[in-house]
Structure 1
């Protein structure tokens, strides 16, 4: 493994060939991508050999201003690589020990599970701590007012697995890591990032608080229509899991540091540690290896913003794509792969259409369900007349398909949580980028329930004469 990592960094830091991608080529590609995806706004940066090849913005923000390379964007879980970097700067200063328990270095951290005392800092960053959305109350944590408050609210939670035995993506890991940065670094997390990460790299437009750097509202796509919406007020300001607000210009400086070029924040060995996958999963510390491309990448998804960062050990290129929108289909990764293809002299695959097609299908389903529901109401009396003499069990069997969407709606958050490997999903979240799917399910459930209720009432009316004939006469 050590030999492999040394070779990887040698590839990234030896004099690479001259870039084959030009600013003009990037602009041409991005204008086409913006038109094809229909995104309201997007900013990108491409780096190579210690330099920014091109940084630019396209489209508009929610206040009608042109998006540029200096437009602040929330980058969501891309923040995790910044938190890992903050930890590593403290590791190098002897303030934090990667392989010692978190509880020994953060005494306020306690859980209602004795195994939590064994969680190491490395396991937090590798997401192998045993923490999981399935065993902590994410709703309670999201209402925390600070990292200290967040940590205290874990007191009644338990682990889902023994530390170091299973990988599970959980934001709690990185919020705990951010609190550890505060304690070991002796200052608020945002201040530490400013002083030890953003500042040394010259990232003057980056922060973890919208009181310091304010992004415009993001957008959600509702059946093809982009609506500006404020981000959900969950625990976000100052968080280590998804709080970073930055620009394409600043991300260029960050990517150069991550490829081992430019002024280093930490030693190369620390970079290797952060980017190396574990034996359990191809996930390092805020970086994940793409088996298909060989790139190190990490996506970020909030409810009104999406982003992705990537570095290529093969070519030495770095990429970041950020959008001020969130939808059921995330185009940022596809755009990043297109930029990757350009950097390697290949023709990018077409991007766009996925969101539009998916939302069109959902809209057609919703309209069809509404139409069938109306038809079911109009034909309820005929349906009841034909089945008035049928056994009750057979009638309920016929009604069951109409009620299945209502049952699915009742279990909607839990079903999505199961499909997302236990990630917590709330009703409020389902009104954001999943809104087209939520609306379609709601319309289908209401249409089915209305048709079922109307048929039951019609059946009751149809059976009334029969019940009257069977009722004994008065005085009999």
Structure 2
């Protein structure tokens, strides 16, 4: 059998096996512990903690004391601080942010436009999460320095017109808090939000006590420890740490079943009043179907989700030390379904899990191809293989930054599984090997034709 046929058969076999594995799902368990086990088996996550609130009863699964990054669930705390400042009449919800961040400007169609505090709270400022257009803060930047750098940006829509989820909005709100309070964001949140609400295990940025559950990153169907430094100017939108013990109390507070200071009650009521229809977003919360309120979180090495229904008096929070946000959302939703008396569905497979499976296969096939390219002498096979690999690599390098709205460096070395980097390097190595063989083979043939060989 020719080398070409062997290569084709092996490639088809591997891709088919990977595809079948990726779409297969275990039977849907109805037990919460079974759901958690299934989640860990499918994602390869080594730590996941869950808290369940059910009509006053709080149950914990996994490590209730370990501290996880809660990602964009952080926005609810920034939003609460802003709502509290609004009720205290320190901030005008309809005031333009340049009143609170002097000199800050935004443009649409090259015309200066006003962005209000409400626009930021509702994710309707015109900013997006496109890192190329609105880059996040550098490690050494303060909130003020970062805001000054993105001031004057061209917005993607006129403020107030369209919803577009963006971390920019809540980091700007963090700076508003600093400027109107005269305190660093961290100090204000700790003293005026976390301490009064009794959230003693929730931290603004890196914890100064407690035990951190180290974040991880996928690679070749394994979770590797992966530490990411917390950037101070990115904290208000997504870099609190907490545990399920505090998240259980947070659900109790949000469902109205915990004693809180009187001055918070108006703020919580106002937030809930703004969430009227499915899809509404306000102050770090989204209204889901059937009157459920919640939010998800995802950083390069953690994922999380919280959901509660204050009328049914149920709630769930899931904290995971792996960035598989779609599957984490699915686990939370399934547990919520169990509490609601519904059968849970299948766990959703996260895009990074799919990428890990695909690029693990790409690495394996690429490694085999390297050997096949090295030993084959058929020029047509080399040329065909080289062309296909170049096209595939070009598509990845061109399309991924467009799809994910980030640079290829950030995608490969921060967000995607390690197998993406391995797959790209393997394909690049195959291209180099095939190209060298083609060039040296042509040179050898030319020498023979001219009698110089």
TM range (shorter): 0.7 to 0.9
Q: Which moved more, 1:336-345 or 1:449-458?
A: 449-458
Following TM superposition, by how much is the alpha carbon of 1:349 offset from its aligned partner in structure 2, in angstroms?
3.6
The reply on whether 1:41 has 2:41 as its aligned counterpart is no
Q: Secondary structure at the match of 2:249?
A: helix
Tell me the residue number matched to 1:407. Answer: 394
**Distance change >3 Å, CA 103–CA 235, structure 1 → 2:** same
Following TM superposition, by how much is the alpha carbon of 1:464 offset from its aligned partner in structure 2, in angstroms?
3.0
**Distance change >3 Å, CA 429–CA 360, structure 1 → 2:** closer
**Distance change >3 Å, CA 300–CA 460, structure 1 → 2:** same
Any residues of structure 2 matched to 1:136-175 within 5 Å, and which?
138-139=134-135, 141-155=137-151, 157-175=153-171
Which runs of no fewer than 5 residues in structure 2 stay unpaired?
Answer: 1-29
Q: Which moved more, 1:334-343 or 1:159-168?
A: 159-168
The reply on whether 1:55 has 2:38 as its aligned counterpart is no
Distance in 2 between the 1:361 and 1:184 partners? 49
Q: Secondary structure at the match of 1:240?
A: helix
Tell me the residue number matched to 1:270. Answer: 270
Distance in 2 between the 1:235 and 1:285 partners? 22
Tell me the residue number matched to 1:94. Answer: 89
Among 440, 444, 449, the residue aligned to 1:457: 440
Deviations 1:334-373 (A, max 9, x none): 2112211220223434548877776344322321122123
Q: Which moved more, 1:233-242 or 1:108-117?
A: 108-117
**Distance change >3 Å, CA 135–CA 239, structure 1 → 2:** closer
Distance in 2 between the 1:102 and 1:261 partners? 34
Contact 1:130-1:159 within 8 A present in 2 as well: yes
Contact 2:51-2:245 within 8 A present in 1 as well: yes
Contact 1:45-1:52 within 8 A present in 2 as well: no
Distance in 1 between the 2:386 and 2:277 partners? 52
Contact 1:208-1:238 within 8 A present in 2 as well: no
Tell me the residue number matched to 1:261. Answer: 257
**Distance change >3 Å, CA 408–CA 47, structure 1 → 2:** same
Tell me the residue number matched to 1:63. Answer: none
Deviations 1:182-223 (A, max 9, x none): 122231212222222211221001111215356242111211
The reply on whether 1:303 has 2:300 as its aligned counterpart is yes
Q: Secondary structure at the match of 2:423?
A: helix
Among 55, 62, 81, the residue aligned to 2:76: 81
Distance in 1 between the 2:131 and 2:114 partners? 17
Deviations 1:233-254 (A, max 9, x none): 3625762111211111111121
Following TM superposition, by how much is the alpha carbon of 1:455 offset from its aligned partner in structure 2, in angstroms?
1.6
Contact 2:134-2:150 within 8 A present in 1 as well: no
Distance in 1 between the 2:397 and 2:353 partners? 27
Following TM superposition, by how much is the alpha carbon of 1:112 offset from its aligned partner in structure 2, in angstroms?
6.9
Instruction: Give me the TM-score of the superposition, normalised by structure 1.
Output: 0.77
Q: Which moved more, 1:458-467 or 1:331-340?
A: 458-467
Tell me the residue number matched to 1:416. Answer: 400
Distance in 2 between the 1:358 and 1:105 partners? 43
Q: Secondary structure at the match of 2:168?
A: helix
**Distance change >3 Å, CA 276–CA 73, structure 1 → 2:** farther
Deviations 1:24-51 (A, max 9, x none): 96456545544565421111112244x3
Distance in 2 between the 1:398 and 1:246 partners? 50
Count of residue pairs brought into register by the alignment: 415
Distance in 1 between the 2:121 and 2:132 partners? 18
The reply on whether 1:430 has 2:428 as its aligned counterpart is no
Which runs of no fewer than 5 residues in structure 1 stay unpaired?
Answer: 1-23, 58-67, 388-394, 470-476
**Distance change >3 Å, CA 366–CA 32, structure 1 → 2:** closer
Instruction: Give me the TM-score of the superposition, normalised by structure 2.
Output: 0.81
**CA-atom RMSD in angstroms:** 3.2
Any residues of structure 2 matched to 1:45-444 within 5 Å, and which?
45-49=51-55, 51-57=56-62, 68-111=63-106, 117-134=113-130, 138-139=134-135, 141-155=137-151, 157-213=153-209, 215-231=212-228, 233=229, 235-236=231-232, 239-264=235-260, 265-267=264-266, 268-273=268-273, 275-276=275-276, 282-291=280-289, 295-312=292-309, 315-327=312-324, 330-351=326-347, 359-379=356-376, 381-383=377-379, 399-411=386-398, 415-420=399-404, 422=405, 424-425=406-407, 427-434=409-416, 435-444=418-427
Distance in 1 between the 2:135 and 2:303 partners? 22
Distance in 1 between the 2:385 and 2:194 partners? 63
Contact 1:78-1:309 within 8 A present in 2 as well: yes
Following TM superposition, by how much is the alpha carbon of 1:127 offset from its aligned partner in structure 2, in angstroms?
1.3
Q: Secondary structure at the match of 1:122?
A: helix
Following TM superposition, by how much is the alpha carbon of 1:109 offset from its aligned partner in structure 2, in angstroms?
2.5
Structure (1 or 2) with the larger CA radius of gyration: 1
Distance in 1 between the 2:130 and 2:32 partners? 42
Tell me the residue number matched to 1:447. Answer: 430
Following TM superposition, by how much is the alpha carbon of 1:171 offset from its aligned partner in structure 2, in angstroms?
1.0
